[in-house]
Amino acid sequence: MAVTQQQTIELLLESYSMELETVMNYLANSVNLDGVRAEEIKKSLAADVLGEIAHAQQLAGRIKQIGGHIAGSKVLGLAMGKQIQPVTDTTDVTGVIRSVIAAEEAACAQYKKIIKAVDGEDYVTQDLCIRLLADEEEHLVQFKGFLKEYATS
């Protein structure tokens, strides 16, 4: 069944709020963690914050392009809070890595959903989501690699 433009906008808005939630949680984890073992993870997350903001900007651009409107924090805030929250034990590096993996898996799943939904209807949105999916898969592989190392040492 063909997806309507309004449905596409709603799917993209969901990704948009997921990206912004990721920004908040990665930023928090990139400063909250303590210890030598955390240093590489903190650096990686600090860099990812900028990448995830760029994703949100590209989504917002596409939403506007197809007739949508970007809500502010009051409305968007209602859609947030589904992700694993920053760890309270600031030495729990593996806890942070697991939360990043969960967030990246959720982002990949949402992009795949959009890619399928707009197939044959909206190629520009599809192309954008394929590129964003490629980025998230890269993050996912990287953090799965971190988990292998950190969970065994």
Judged by the rule CB under 5 A, the positions of this chain that interact with Fe ion are: 19, 52, 55, 136, 139
How far is the C-alpha of 22 from the C-alpha of 112, rounded, in Å?
18
CB of 102 to Fe ion, least distance (A): 11
Closest CA to 114 of 2, 42, 8: 8
At closest approach, how far in Å is the CB of 81 from Fe ion? 18
**In the bound complex, what is the minimum distance in angstroms from residue 57's beta carbon to Fe ion?**
11
Alpha carbon distance 131, 82 (integer Å): 24
Question: What letter would DSSP give residue 33?
Answer: -
- CB 73: neighbour CB atoms within 10 A? 9
In the bound state with Fe ion, the residue whose beta carbon lies nearer, of 19 and 92, is: 19
Distance CA 130, CA 117 (A): 12
Name which of 4 and 141 has its Cβ closer to Fe ion: 141
Nearer to Fe ion, 36 or 100 (CB): 100
Using CB atoms within 10 Å of the CB of residue 35, give its burial: 0 to 12 exposed, 13 to 18 middle, 19+ buried.
exposed
User: What's the min distance (Å) between Cβ of 97 and Fe ion?
Assistant: 13
In angstroms, give the least distance from the CB of 120 to Fe ion: 25
Of 122 and 136, nearer to Fe ion (C-beta) is 136
Nearer to Fe ion, 21 or 92 (CB): 21
Residue with tokens 């997350």: 45
